[in-house]
Structure 1
Amino acid sequence: MLRKSLPWAWALLICVAAFAACDSNEEQTTDGDGDAATEDGDTEGETADGDEDGDADAPPFDDPDAPGPYAVGAINETVAYDDPDVAGRTRELPCTVWYPAQTGGEAFRYDGWLVRDNVYADAEPDAGGAPYPLFAFSHGNSGIAEQSWTLVEYLVAHGFVVISCNHVGNTAGDWDVSTVAQAVHDRPLDVSAAISHALAKSEAADSRLFGLIDEARIAAGGHSLGGYTTLMVCGGSMHFQAYLTECAEDPSLHICDWLTDYDTSMVKDGAVGDPRVKAGVAYAPAGYGFFAADEPNGLEAIAIPMLIVGAERDGTCPMDSEVRPIYEALPGADKRLATLMNAAHMSFTDFCEMVGGSSEYFAEEGCAPGFATPAEAFAAMDRLTLAFLRRHLDGDARYDAYLTPVDQRPEYIAVIEGP
């Protein structure tokens, strides 16, 4: 399924991670874990036509435990936009867009080099289930757009369009500590621009995405600093200046050493939420202090359903100091907290498959023996994400069973909590 040779950018990633902060089968489709569905889309355990109330008009149940019926296509796009806060500053972002597709064709290359034999480059779309919901994903600090391909491919196989962009200046190839504050400013704007780009392409007759996206069903998700990004896109309001004051008083606070010695003038207090986003998923999110440094807690401004997923052994964005406080600050009843047991910060990415425990940081954050395997982590992450999005983008209560608070679902490594 995967062919690889490690380029310079990934070697750099191994070095950067030491400083990381919250940071082929043409007749089969996959569920993201290597399981296959037959070409006609039949899946074991699928419930056809009807919800638990017997509604004959309900769509077929999209079983999170089964492989998705769609093949996965992908294209590269460039998203460009003008920074609303800096006159004359334009950002151009290399992005990948995945979509339900017809099978066959050339294998797609992630980051230009990593060959995925089960993802078809520039494939003919499968419009049979269109329009599809859109999921905008934000990578972690010093990551890349395709860093969590297992999750992305799973969602697309289940009928989503996914867009993920390189946050230029904060990727494996161009990360620098002096520009972390700039990334804090840029990232939410990047995601909103990516959503606008995807919607425009869905209206363009000459695009592979033509007619594929349902503008009423849009969700955002992200890992680590991408989790912070997601919280902002979903309506969070920052108290960044107050956090800088706290950093001056206690430099040991989370990522203060990345902020206090560098230019932070571009980061503004307040909200930059995108009202088109109807639900959010934050994986090992960073940045609690950005929201909590003053009253009211800026996370209280989020008014859409949120799934927060953390890892029991995460030392970068710990459950007790980052993830759980973020969850507890969210208002309302449409929120869930899931803890992946025996997992750590990199368990939310496919980096462990690429580089293993090749650095002390990666080894300590989930890539060494003794942690949950990538298959175990993604089995929980994928299913929880799909169920949450189906519940809140589609309004389908049949998925509540996957989101009910429970000590641990025996088949997954997740503990689920809720109001």
Structure 2
Amino acid sequence: MQGQPKEEHSMSKPFTEADGISVSDSTPVMTFSPVVLSVPGRIVDLQIKVSAPSTGSGLPVILLSHGHGPSNFISSLHGYGPLADFWAAHGFVVIQPTHLDSMMLGLRETQSPEAPLYWRSRAEDMRYILDQLDHIEAAVPGLGGRIDKGRIAAVGHSLGGLTVGMLCGQGVTDPVDGKEVNLLDPRIKAGVLLAAPGRGEDLSAFATEHYPVLRSTSFANMTTPALIVVGENDWSPRFSNRKDWRSDAYYLSPGPKCLLTLIGAEHGLGGIASYDAAETTDENPERVAVLRALVWSYLRSALYPEDAAWHKVCVELKNTPNPLGIIECKSG
């Protein structure tokens, strides 16, 4: 007896990379990995993947920090292809580290005081990459002399959002010694926090027990310009009873900041972590296309103030019937 036919998934319209949002022309991408960096005191070497357009010079940089997800390889340099590939195709050098909390390293269950999140090490990974940009540029064939080291942004999803927030001035307190930690890095000119944790005061009892560092998050000194991206339906009582908790980085930090709320999105923001994988509960290629195009536009204008890309897409989105996202900004 034959089984029931498998239901086919179809999109309502042909897929486009940016869903109609104005971006630059796409170019072929070259990817090189792993670049292995030996970091003093780090339990294992720091491995990174570098993706870059095959042509062009004076290229800006995005440091892309993965989340703390359950998959073996997505939360590593191997993940987030829908974002890294797009941004590299449209003019950025994208650098992706494998942080110590990645499942592929098997270090989450160790007795390290930083396990399982390795929250401090994550930010230090990003800072070390910036220290080693000359070495990284020389190690990647065809990349030498093409990076603009004065135009650097950082993007992070979920726990990666905390990592980027810390680099932008977000404060935390070390739960082991009670000391305040400040890892603001002025080399990072703009940040993008995707579905990042909110204010520590509103953390749930469960998260406080399992992830105590999140209890102390504060945004009062997060001064670096940033775009905060949240899913309209990204809420879990395991982290907070407040349904707008992940918007705190926008409302509780000084400007300039912008907030992008993706309509109907959950924590995976449509599936940014990988191509066609069950890492997300709200798979939606159109949503991913909109997100990455809007982030591209924001970073273009943040790193090149004369570039009107962000203003243009804000106007486009406002005038779009039934938009997939809503943007608001503040200057102070």
| Cα distance change, pair 405–184 in 1 and its aligned pair in 2 (3 A) | farther
Aligned to 1:392: 302
| Cα distance change, pair 292–403 in 1 and its aligned pair in 2 (3 A) | farther
The question of whether the paired residues in 1 share the 8 Å contact of 2:101 and 2:118 is answered with yes
Which string of whole-angstrom CA distances, capped at 9 and with x for unpartnered residues, describes residues 192-249 of structure 1? Answer: 11223334333x38843211210110000000000000001122221344xxxxxxxx
Identical residues among aligned pairs (%): 27
Q: Which amino acid aligns with 1:313?
A: N
The question of whether the paired residues in 2 share the 8 Å contact of 1:408 and 1:414 is answered with no
Instruction: Specify which of 136, 145, 148 is matched with residue 77 of structure 2.
Output: 145
Q: Are positions 1:366 and 2:282 aligned together?
A: yes
| Cα distance change, pair 409–180 in 1 and its aligned pair in 2 (3 A) | farther
Q: Are positions 1:209 and 2:129 aligned together?
A: no
Which residues of structure 1 form unaligned runs of 5+? 1-32, 37-62, 83-87, 102-125, 242-263, 357-361, 368-372
Provide the rounded CA distance (Å) in 2 between the counterparts of 1:380 and 1:206. 30
Aligned to 2:206: none
Q: Are positions 1:306 and 2:240 aligned together?
A: no
| Cα distance change, pair 239–406 in 1 and its aligned pair in 2 (3 A) | farther
More displaced, 334-343 or 406-415? 406-415
- When Rg is computed on C-alpha atoms for both structures, the one with the higher figure is 1
Which string of whole-angstrom CA distances, capped at 9 and with x for unpartnered residues, describes residues 90-126 of structure 1? Answer: 541221100111xxxxxxxxxxxxxxxxxxxxxxxx2
Instruction: Specify which of 80, 92, 96 is matched with residue 38 of structure 2.
Output: 80
Aligned to 1:193: 128
| Cα distance change, pair 411–401 in 1 and its aligned pair in 2 (3 A) | farther
| Cα distance change, pair 201–207 in 1 and its aligned pair in 2 (3 A) | farther
Instruction: Specify which of 233, 258, 262 is matched with residue 340 of structure 1.
Output: 262
Aligned to 1:114: none
Provide the rounded CA distance (Å) in 2 between the counterparts of 1:69 and 1:387. 14
Aligned to 1:402: 313
Provide the rounded CA distance (Å) in 1 between the counterparts of 2:261 and 2:325. 5
Deviation at 1:401? 2.5
More displaced, 173-182 or 272-281? 173-182
Q: Secondary structure at the match of 1:300?
A: coil
Aligned to 1:95: 48
Q: Secondary structure at the match of 1:221?
A: strand
Provide the rounded CA distance (Å) in 2 between the counterparts of 1:133 and 1:352. 23
Aligned to 2:172: 238
CA-based RMSD of the aligned residues comes to 3.1
Provide the rounded CA distance (Å) in 1 between the counterparts of 2:316 and 2:179. 37
| Cα distance change, pair 199–410 in 1 and its aligned pair in 2 (3 A) | farther
Deviation at 1:175? 5.6
Matches within 5 A, 1:187-336: 187-202=122-137, 204=138, 207-241=141-175, 264=176, 268-286=179-197, 288-289=199-200, 298-316=218-236, 320-332=243-255, 334-336=256-258
More displaced, 177-186 or 67-76? 177-186
Deviation at 1:180? 3.6
The question of whether the paired residues in 2 share the 8 Å contact of 1:72 and 1:99 is answered with yes
When the two structures are superposed, what TM-score results if normalisation uses the length of structure 1? 0.62
Aligned to 1:160: 92
Provide the rounded CA distance (Å) in 2 between the counterparts of 1:354 and 1:206. 29
Provide the rounded CA distance (Å) in 1 between the counterparts of 2:297 and 2:273. 25
Which string of whole-angstrom CA distances, capped at 9 and with x for unpartnered residues, describes residues 327-355 of structure 1? Answer: 111102x2111111111112354456443
Provide the rounded CA distance (Å) in 1 between the counterparts of 2:247 and 2:140. 45
When the two structures are superposed, what TM-score results if normalisation uses the length of structure 2? 0.76
Provide the rounded CA distance (Å) in 2 between the counterparts of 1:344 and 1:292. 20
Aligned to 1:134: 61
Q: Secondary structure at the match of 2:37?
A: strand
Provide the rounded CA distance (Å) in 1 between the counterparts of 2:250 and 2:53. 32
Instruction: Specify which of 68, 87, 105 is matched with residue 25 of structure 2.
Output: 68
The question of whether the paired residues in 1 share the 8 Å contact of 2:31 and 2:51 is answered with yes
